[in-house]
């Protein structure tokens, strides 16, 4: 999704002279187009993420909208205090962009993984976390971010196109059944594993959610949950503080009861080994084979 982000960011910077782009010495072979357009509004802050966010907040305080770009763990964990104190408490238009969410940087290990980022950022005041699932979602998320002009986090991952054209919103129905028996809700590009796992002619509704915290559920999602009473939440993020917990909180407030709930989520490093993204997804049960098994179990109940 990095290329889709870069292209859309170029359009935003071209049309708004009060937009600044700051990178933490990352983005080679992806951000050169932005640098060319932005000129003096493109800043390489170096490997100094805390200072980078502080500078972004200062510029935003003076009336600029500021993008801050790095890989997801560097953009979030190294400067969490600055995001909270400098950006979120003052409700400033600073847009944190983290590439390679989840296990995206694979073999580089835990220092380069971001499997707790939503849990860290979503509780902060005024912050919204945006997690595109398909490459077309990136432009939608950026439009929402720049329209709202408030703290935002954009978590980028593997970019693949939608299987069919849809009208994109914060909650999207990707697979629809006339008589659904299971509702699956996915966060981010792991939805592509779900699409591989769904057996043909099975009664599955599949949704993606692009924004956390969840404010409300769509009518389509509520209808599906009410009919199936069986949910599988799938996210390349730890269970605590992730999509599943946000969803369960809303269901409790809505008094939707007697739901059979399955959570498939990032489990860290069970074998204490590192591998590519597919390796870590498999260890956490986020691969298509295990997702298919979980679907089959629920269908048999």
Q: Is 51 exposed, middle or buried (0-12, 13-18, 19+ CB in 10 A)?
A: middle
Pick the closest to residue 138 from 10, 237, 228 (CA basis): 10
Mean pLDDT of the chain: 95
pTM of the prediction? 0.96
* Structural domain spans, the chain: 2-156, 171-300
- pLDDT score recorded for residue 200: 75
Mean pLDDT of 225-254: 96
For the sheet with 260-265, list strands across it. Answer: 171-175, 204-209, 182-187, 230-235, 260-265
Mean per-residue pLDDT for 269-298? 96
C-alpha 43/C-alpha 208 separation (Å) is: 34
Question: 114: closest CA among 70, 55, 165, 72?
Answer: 72
Beta-ladder partners of 208? 172, 186
Angle, helix 137-148 to helix 2-15, in steps of 10 degrees: 40
31-45 b/e with 16+ CB inside 10 Å = b? beebbebbeebbbeb
Question: Residue 289: helix, strand or coil by DSSP?
Answer: helix
**pLDDT per residue over 153-179, tens digit each?**
999 999 899 998 999 999 999 999 999
CATH of 171-300, one of 3.10.290.10, 3.40.50.2000, 1.10.287.1040, 3.40.50.920: 3.40.50.920
Let me know if the fold of 2-156 is the same as that of 171-300: yes
Residue 199 pLDDT exceeds 80: no
Class of the domain covering 2-156: alpha beta
* Best CA proximity match to 48, nearest among 19, 75, 85, 21: 75
Q: Provide the token pair at 160.
A: 């693949």
**3-state secondary structure at position 80:** helix
R_g (Cα) of the chain, nearest Å:
19
**196 confidence band (pLDDT: 50, 70, 90):** very high
Region 102-115: mean pLDDT is: 97
Question: Given 3-state DSSP classes, what are the helix, strand and coil percentages for the chain, each rounded to the nearest 5?
Answer: 45, 20, 35
Q: How many helices (H) and strands (E) does the chain have?
A: 12, 12
Mean of the pLDDT values across residues 131-142? 98
Q: Give Cα separations from 23 to 9, 73, 87, 135, 261 (angstroms).
A: 13, 14, 17, 22, 40
How large is the average pLDDT for residues 18-32? 90
Q: Is the predicted pLDDT of residue 137 greater than 90, yes or no? A: yes
């Amino acid at each position: 999704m990095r290329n889709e982000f870069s292209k859309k960011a170029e359009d935003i910077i071209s049309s708004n002279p009060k937009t600044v782009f700051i990178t933490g010495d990352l983005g080679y072979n992806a951000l050169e187009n932005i640098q060319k357009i932005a000129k003096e509004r493109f800043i390489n802050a170096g490997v100094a993420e805390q200072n980078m966010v502080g500078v972004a907040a200062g510029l935003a305080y003076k009336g600029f909208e500021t993008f801050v770009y790095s890989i997801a763990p560097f953009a979030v964990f190294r400067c969490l205090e600055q995001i909270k104190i400098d950006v979120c408490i003052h409700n400033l238009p600073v847009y944190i962009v983290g590439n390679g969410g989840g296990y995206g940087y694979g073999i580089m290990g835990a220092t380069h993984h971001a499997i707790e980022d939503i849990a860290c950022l979503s509780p902060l005041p005024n912050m919204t976390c945006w997690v595109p699932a398909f490459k077309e979602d990136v432009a939608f998320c950026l439009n929402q971010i720049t329209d709202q002009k408030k703290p935002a986090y954009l978590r980028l991952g593997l970019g693949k196109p939608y299987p069919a054209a849809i009208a994109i919103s914060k909650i999207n129905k990707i697979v629809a059944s006339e008589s659904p028996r299971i509702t699956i809700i996915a966060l981010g590009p792991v939805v592509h594993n779900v699409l591989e796992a769904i057996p043909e002619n099975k009664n599955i509704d599949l949704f993606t959610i692009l924004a956390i915290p969840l404010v409300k559920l769509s009518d389509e999602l509520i209808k599906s949950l009410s009919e199936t009473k069986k949910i599988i939440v799938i996210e390349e993020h730890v269970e605590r503080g992730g999509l599943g917990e946000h969803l369960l909180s809303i269901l409790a407030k809505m008094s939707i009861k007697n739901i059979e709930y399955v959570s498939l989520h990032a489990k860290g490093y069970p074998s204490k080994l590192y591998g590519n993204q597919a390796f870590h997804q498999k260890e956490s049960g986020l691969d298509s084979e295990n997702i298919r098994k979980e679907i089959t179990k629920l269908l048999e109940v």
